[in-house]
Amino acid sequence: MSQPTVAELGELELLKRLQPFCESALIGDDAAVLPPRSQATVITTDMLVDGVHFSDRTTPPQAIGWRAIAANLSDLAAMGSVPTEITVGLALPGHTPVHWVEQVYEGMAACLRQYGGKIVGGDVVRSPQPVIAITALGTVAPQRVIRRDRAQPGQVILATGWHGASRAGLELLLQPDLQTPLSASDRQTFIQAHQYPVPRLDIVELFDALEDDEFGAIAGMDSSDGLANAVLWLCQASGVGAQLMRSRLPLPQAFTPWLSDATALDWCLYGGEDFELVLCLPAEIALELLPVLGSQASIIGTVAASPEVLLMDDVGDRSPLTLTWESCFQHF
Amino acid sequence: MSQPTVAELGELELLKRLQPFCESALIGDDAAVLPPRSQATVITTDMLVDGVHFSDRTTPPQAIGWRAIAANLSDLAAMGSVPTEITVGLALPGHTPVHWVEQVYEGMAACLRQYGGKIVGGDVVRSPQPVIAITALGTVAPQRVIRRDRAQPGQVILATGWHGASRAGLELLLQPDLQTPLSASDRQTFIQAHQYPVPRLDIVELFDALEDDEFGAIAGMDSSDGLANAVLWLCQASGVGAQLMRSRLPLPQAFTPWLSDATALDWCLYGGEDFELVLCLPAEIALELLPVLGSQASIIGTVAASPEVLLMDDVGDRSPLTLTWESCFQHF
């Protein structure tokens, strides 16, 4: 089976191969044209670097494409917007197999088919190291944008989904021979969480039921850099603090027979890449949302006036733990 | 003098240092929010890789930033749009001096101050190789978009500025001790053309004088990948050919005492990165524009029905040269 590289195929032929994944002509004009829109546009951009943010060792090319898109759609969801357009910049070594590039695009297209948004433009260039740059646009009514700086003392903190699952999946991928008490289904769930994370655009749909004036009392962001990071950001941006309850942290149940308390806590708070949403909002709105979200969300604590972010030990009798930026993922 | 690296400074402090260059809070939310707009949005994206598209050997960091923005603004100009917002993705090794990053941003900000557009968001990540990803948005009335596929036989081909100047500047930068008959001022002009190219947004302003229905008869693109590449693209997209006149090619005058005919021709047609505009349009519109453009533009040929792109030797008696994609810059 012939496996041509991008250098063998050449730029023009490569763009032709990628054309079916794209809405408008990738190679037709200097830029894409989007129609006028009456709503606000949300714009976000992410770079992913081979060996830093993805690796063939843990992530097949379809998953690399899926994750790159999912991370950006998660940012759009965190702002309360729905995805509309995407641009894709790819920097690739000449020896990259064309098939690899096509599979990355397949993964991106699959994620976009499921959650919305179309590839409208891009750039493919030569580089010693593969790098993917995604810019995603979304749309939202201006008065319904979710921001970080609106958390208020007395509000509850709601986290969607489980936290630590992506980190667990990464561990299983890095150590395929690791002995664990996990069921095959739990293993698969964790690996899926790492390779094919779900941007929570379903939450944006739920927001449709809220009135415009309720948005002024909702702060939110995604947990791409970890649950602790999200709570710290929301608190710093709003000039408040928080008390999280140890018993309410959204740890996957399968952690209990597998991990020590310390590791489970670490992965849940600092693992990152779960792409869930963390919201600070009045209890009455949270209680409207929770029944619809089911086991997929929980109230993990409350917003406090004093600026510390404390993890309260409501199961044992240890003193509160202060969460700090130092433990969080830093890009450098 | 202390020269901290980005790894020493850390991500959060780095983003704070870059904040003054940006319109909205880089670190405030998951994404930036742009107001509704009644016109069409043009979107373009470019990736620049250290050692492939820029190098500290030929380009100081301010110029790296300037060129990255200018290349994107040139794409916006080629579509007839004016710049509005920019996002900047930076992938950097941890050992990169913070000062280098600030200077790149200074160059970007300087170009944006001069030609319009504001940095509204971005991403900074770790990478073994520096990579810059820019996405630029512009705005244009939907009926006044310039496209590539509207060249018609009988039209003239108008090129703005000089072609080959950026390539000449690169040569002078790569070989600082090169003996040439160039004046200091010519040297400086070529180096400036390479390091600080000018996106031709002035042409977009000139278009304001045209009626809506005239845009249906204008094809255009920028010459970022070379003059020959631009003419080949316009012809292929429009299903036409072209005859270029050897005597009308926009070669810088200073090439004559310096370069052989063959080298001068090669740099003018294939040098690239001049970021000028190449337009196919009815002669009467070209003649309206030319007096305003002065020596900064010229009619270099005509659009023909048969699909070849020919370079006619109107000074000597050589047979026509057929221009092909094979001689053009390819990204792989």
pLDDT one-digit tens code per residue, B210-225? 999 999 999 999 999 9
Q: Which of B121, B142, B163 is the last residue of a domain?
A: B142
What is the rounded average pLDDT of the residues B132-149?
A: 96
Distance CA(B265)–CA(B284), nearest Å, equals: 28
Residues of B within the annotated binding site for substrate? 53, 273, 329
Co-location of B83 and B176 in the same domain: no
For residue A137, what are the CA distances in angstroms to A117, A219, A259, B209, B285?
Answer: 8, 21, 39, 32, 36
Q: Which of B41, B94, B147 sits opposite A29 (nearest CB)?
A: B147
pLDDT one-digit tens code per residue, A182-236? 999 999 999 999 999 999 999 999 999 999 999 999 999 999 999 999 999 999 9
Paired with A135 in beta bridges are A45, A87
Residues B47, A91: C-beta atoms closer than 8 Å: yes
- Please tell me the predicted confidence (pLDDT) of residue A199: 97
Interface test with A, best of B37, B135, B224 (most A CBs within 10 A): B135
Token readout for A239 is: 């000039």
Sorting pLDDT into bands at 50, 70 and 90, what band is B2? Answer: low
Q: Is residue A1 part of a domain?
A: no
Q: With beta carbons under 8 A apart, name residues in chain A contacting B28.
A: 147-149, 237
Spatial neighbors of B236 by CB under 8 A, at least 6 apart, are none
Instruction: Residue A242: count other Cβ atoms within 10 Å of its Cβ.
Output: 26
Residues B131, A135: C-beta atoms closer than 8 Å: no
Is the pLDDT confidence value at A11 over 90? no
Q: Are B252 and B190 in contact (CB under 8 A)?
A: yes
Is the pLDDT confidence value at B298 over 70? yes
Q: Is residue A133 part of a domain?
A: yes
Q: Are A109 and A21 in contact (CB under 8 A)?
A: yes
Residues A133, B45: C-beta atoms closer than 8 Å: yes
Q: Are A192 and A60 in contact (CB under 8 A)?
A: no
Residues A87, B135: C-beta atoms closer than 8 Å: yes
Q: Which of B42, B125, B237 sits opposite A28 (nearest CB)?
A: B237
Q: With beta carbons under 8 A apart, name residues in chain B contacting A39.
A: 36
Q: Which of A96, A115, A142 is the last residue of a domain?
A: A142
Q: Is residue B1 part of a domain?
A: no
Co-location of A106 and A215 in the same domain: no
The distance from CA A230 to its chain's CA centroid, rounded to whole angstroms, is: 12
Q: Is residue B259 part of a domain?
A: yes
Co-location of A283 and A180 in the same domain: yes
Q: Is residue B70 part of a domain?
A: yes
Q: Is residue B159 part of a domain?
A: yes
A46 is in an annotated binding site: yes
- Please tell me the predicted confidence (pLDDT) of residue A24: 65
Co-location of B72 and B211 in the same domain: no
Distance CA(B194)–CA(B282), nearest Å, equals: 31
pLDDT one-digit tens code per residue, B197-206? 999 999 999 9
Co-location of B152 and B271 in the same domain: yes
Distance CA(A130)–CA(A292), nearest Å, equals: 41
Is the pLDDT confidence value at A93 over 60? yes
Is the pLDDT confidence value at B331 over 90? no
Co-location of B215 and B285 in the same domain: yes
Co-location of A114 and A150 in the same domain: no
Q: Which of B52, B87, B148 sits opposite A135 (nearest CB)?
A: B87
Task: Give me the CATH number covering residue B275.
Answer: 3.90.650.10
Q: With beta carbons under 8 A apart, name residues in chain A contacting B138.
A: 31
Q: Are A130 and A5 in contact (CB under 8 A)?
A: no
Is the pLDDT confidence value at A78 over 90? yes
pLDDT one-digit tens code per residue, A249-264? 999 999 999 999 999 9
Could you identify the residue written with the tokens 């020493």? B8
pLDDT one-digit tens code per residue, B241-295? 999 999 999 999 999 999 999 999 999 999 999 999 999 999 999 998 999 887 7
Give the SS3 label for residue A161: coil
A53 is in an annotated binding site: yes
Average model confidence (pLDDT) for chain A? 93
Task: Give me the CATH number covering residue A67.
Answer: 3.30.1330.10
Co-location of B122 and B48 in the same domain: yes
Q: With beta carbons under 8 A apart, name residues in chain B contacting A42.
A: 31-34
Residues A331, B31: C-beta atoms closer than 8 Å: no
- Please tell me the predicted confidence (pLDDT) of residue A331: 67
Q: In terms of DSSP H, where are the helices of B147-282?
A: 165-174, 184-195, 201-207, 227-238, 261-270
Co-location of B198 and B242 in the same domain: yes
Residue B260 has what DSSP assignment? -
Distance CA(A244)–CA(A302), nearest Å, equals: 7
Q: Is residue B332 part of a domain?
A: no
Task: Report the gap between the CA of B24 and the closest CA in chain A (Å).
Answer: 12
pLDDT one-digit tens code per residue, B33-66? 998 999 999 999 999 999 999 998 899 999 999 9
Instruction: Residue A326: count other Cβ atoms within 10 Å of its Cβ.
Output: 6
Closest-CA residue to B114 (of B45, B50, B34, B201): B201
Q: With beta carbons under 8 A apart, name residues in chain B contacting A330.
A: 10-12
Distance CA(B6)–CA(B20), nearest Å, equals: 17
Strand order in the sheet with A297-304: A219-222, A277-281, A156-160, A297-304, A241-245, A309-312, A321-322
Co-location of B77 and B156 in the same domain: no
Q: Which of B87, B127, B325 sits opposite A43 (nearest CB)?
A: B87
What is the rounded average pLDDT of the residues A285-304?
A: 91
Interface test with B, best of A23, A24, A43 (most B CBs within 10 A): A43
Q: Closest chain B residue to A71 measured between Cα atoms?
A: B30
Q: Which of B126, B142, B158 is the last residue of a domain?
A: B142
Co-location of A133 and A240 in the same domain: no
- Please tell me the predicted confidence (pLDDT) of residue A293: 87
Q: Is residue B3 part of a domain?
A: no
- Please tell me the predicted confidence (pLDDT) of residue A328: 77
Q: Which of B34, B126, B148 sits opposite A52 (nearest CB)?
A: B126
ipTM of the complex model: 0.91
Q: With beta carbons under 8 A apart, name residues in chain B contacting A332.
A: 6-7, 9-11, 14, 94, 126
Token readout for A223 is: 């947990």
Co-location of B107 and B228 in the same domain: no
Q: Are B242 and B269 in contact (CB under 8 A)?
A: no
Range of the domain at A190: 146-327
- Please tell me the predicted confidence (pLDDT) of residue A28: 67
Q: How many domains does chain B have?
A: 2
A213 is in an annotated binding site: no
Residues A123, B91: C-beta atoms closer than 8 Å: no
Sorting pLDDT into bands at 50, 70 and 90, what band is A27? Answer: low
Residue A200 has what DSSP assignment? -
